[in-house]
Amino acid sequence: MSTNVEIDEPLAVTARGSSPLTRKTRRKVRWFEVAGFTAPALLVYVAFVFVPVAFAVVMAFFDGNRVQPFSNFVGFDNFAEIFTGGRTFGMPFFWDAVRNNFLIAILSLVLQGPLAIGVALLLNRPMKARGLVRTLIFVPYVLSEVITGVMFTMMLLPNGALAVWLERLGLGSLADTLWLADIGNGGLGSITFWVAMFVLTWKYIGLAIILFLAGLSGIPEELTEAASIDGASWWQIQRKITLPLLGPTMRIWAFLSIIGSFQLFDMIWILTRQNPTIVGMDTMATYMVQMGMNRNRVGYGSAIAVVLFVITLIVALVYQRFILKRDVGKEA
């Protein structure tokens, strides 16, 4: 027979000698605690996210400059010009920028994903100096985009380190290649585009490998050991057990890679020496800076920022709705 006696909390508090608190008072105290802890973060978030976004949306309806951003109301003309403007020599072209952003996003997944998974699987096996190898692989990600861009720019100059080595190897015909100055409309047929993809892969693959290694560490060893005892080969274990269980990590990495590709600015800006248009390497971010700041069309640049925000938001929502939802459902 149970002898437990339920005691109301206020009475228990009174019995301990403290002043009793009613349920309504406790709710108020909790509300003030929640408000006190979250208010500073909310204020910073509103000040540095919502206010600039609202400011950009309003400026997008004007054709102002940096001195008078709210002069000459033009309605939706800036948005119409973005989508209907034609290609002009020497001027950035919006649809080239959109193409480059999507190509970089897709190729980042295609190139970096399998390569990072393969390296992570190899580094997940027992080997000497594994910690040192992991650290060295992550070093490029630690470097800033400016340092990385300047470093590759100097290496790929016509008289840079790569040209010298090509000459020594008897490949002098390649030494004169303009790796970062392939003038044209860019795209898959541009040498500069593939050089930029190589630099981006070198820079960001370390993050993918570290994420995959973290995901691999969460896979129970009992599963792979049981499969090995049953006679499964190493490849069968990876294909049937490891890679499916690594799925949530791969989907998170893919999401980060896609969003990062749409926000790409600094690396392209430095590799092309602040002139991506001449080699057809504009992204939506560089297009926005060139039109809004360099050409002093703040209203038009704000309209581009709004379009970039909407495109990124749609891609993020679609990805979360159809890809990430399966992981959230499993956790629930």
Residue 73 backbone dihedrals phi, psi, to 5 degrees: -65, 130
Q: Where are the domains of the chain?
A: 93-281
Tokens of 173: 């015909």
Residue 299 has pLDDT above 60, yes or no: yes
Dihedral (Cα; 177, 179, 185, 188), 10-degree rounding: 100
- Who contacts 248 (Cβ-Cβ below 8 Å, separation ≥6)? 215, 327, 330
Phi-psi label, residue 3: left if phi above 0, alpha if psi -120 to 50, beta otherwise:
alpha
* 93-281 belongs to CATH 1.10.3720.10: yes
Kindly state the average pLDDT of the residues 59-87: 90
Kindly state the average pLDDT of the residues 92-110: 94
Kindly state the average pLDDT of the residues 243-264: 94
Express each pLDDT in 121-142 by its tens digit: 988 888 888 888 888 888 999 9
Residue 79 has pLDDT above 80, yes or no: yes
Kindly state the average pLDDT of the residues 228-257: 91
Nearest to 92 by CA among 250, 331, 284: 284
Neighbours of 204 (CB within 10 A): 21
Per-residue model confidence (pLDDT) at position 195: 95
Q: Is residue 10 within 8 Å of 24, Cβ to Cβ?
A: no
* 254/251 Cα distance (integer angstroms): 5
Neighbours of 15 (CB within 10 A): 10
Tokens of 308: 């970039």
- Per-residue confidence band for 3, with pLDDT thresholds at 50, 70 and 90: very low
Question: SS3 of 62, please?
Answer: strand
Express each pLDDT in 309-322 by its tens digit: 999 999 999 999 98
* 263/269 Cα distance (integer angstroms): 12
